Chain A
Amino acid sequence: MELPTVEQIRETAIAIDPKFAKAVARWDIEVGRDWQGDPGVFVIIVLKDSEAHRVWESRRDYKDRLRNRLWAMLPEGYFPYITYSAESVALDPEIPARR
């Protein structure tokens, strides 16, 4: 099995849940090695400040689905690491955005 490209991973992330993907400002994706030196794919889902609150409760479900999809795409030995971030350093996703 060949390693997917960053673009293929991004397209997969969008296809899993297009509605959730609308809340994402960008996917920061890197293929590299984890702190132990094992191969990994690192995905940081950077949420839009204006949308983070809307999708915060469903983030775990989306992350699980993305992880499962990546498992199926990655060569054996690669581990998918997925986390969330936001456009602003200070954003608290548990507080609704002011309009």
Chain B
Amino acid sequence: MNFAQDLLAQAGLLARLDPRRPNQANVRRAASTAYYALFHLLTSDGAERLARGPARNAHRELIRRRYDHSVMASVSKHFVEARAKWITDVILPSNALKDVAGSLGDLQQERHAADYSLTVPFTRVRAQEAVGDAAHAFKQWLSIRRSPEADFYLLVMLLGPPRR
């Protein structure tokens, strides 16, 4: 949690540097770091939730590293839509969970744009929007992180959606 919060704070600082002419590296890193802040918040919680026993520190690290960006994005889209039977049979996602899942998808796409789409300048507003989006997702997550829907979301993001 502390690392995730530090990343979010760092993203905010990067987005506000260079008042007259933002350095592209700084604003792009701000958007990218905002995504990683949310990524680490969720994967740390998932690992914390699932690691058990005397070797839980080692387990925690194994679980955390098993989370895959692509799987997390795909699963998050399903949670935003909230139409898949394998979700609605277990939970009805709250607006808070949908916000978190939507932000994860948006921020991952923004991270990709910030890191790889270099033809158009990245604006400070775009970086600040990414930081604001991540901050909102943090707030929403903290309101539901101990709930059954949060458990389910973290588990499915680790394992992927069920096979048909």
Please indicate whether A and B come from the same complex rather than being unrelated chains: yes
Does B146 sit at the interface, judged by CB under 8 A? no
CA distance A52 to B110 in the complex (A): 20
CA distance A59 to B128 in the complex (A): 12
Across chains A and B, the number of contacting residue pairs, with CB separation under 8 Å, is: 69
A59 in contact with B129 (CB, 8 Å): yes
Residue of A nearest to B16 (CB): A92
Residue of B nearest to A92 (CB): B124
**Residues of B contacting A: mostly:** helix
Residues of B within 8 A of A83 (CB): 106, 110, 126, 129-130
Partner of B21, one of A34, A71, A85, A89: A89
Residue of A nearest to B122 (CB): A89
Residue of B nearest to A37 (CB): B70
Does A88 sit at the interface, judged by CB under 8 A? yes
Residues of B within 8 A of A93 (CB): 125, 128
B112 in contact with A52 (CB, 8 Å): no
Smallest CB–CB gap between A95 and chain B, Å? 9
Interface magnitude class on chain A = 20 to 34
Does A16 sit at the interface, judged by CB under 8 A? no
Residues of B within 8 A of A88 (CB): 123
Smallest CB–CB gap between A16 and chain B, Å? 17
Q: Which B residues form the contact surface with A (CB < 8 A)? A: 16, 18-22, 27, 70, 73-74, 77, 80-81, 102, 105-106, 108-110, 112, 121-126, 128-130, 132, 136
Q: Which A residues form the contact surface with B (CB < 8 A)? A: 34-36, 38, 40, 42, 44, 47, 52, 59-60, 67, 71, 79, 81-86, 88-94
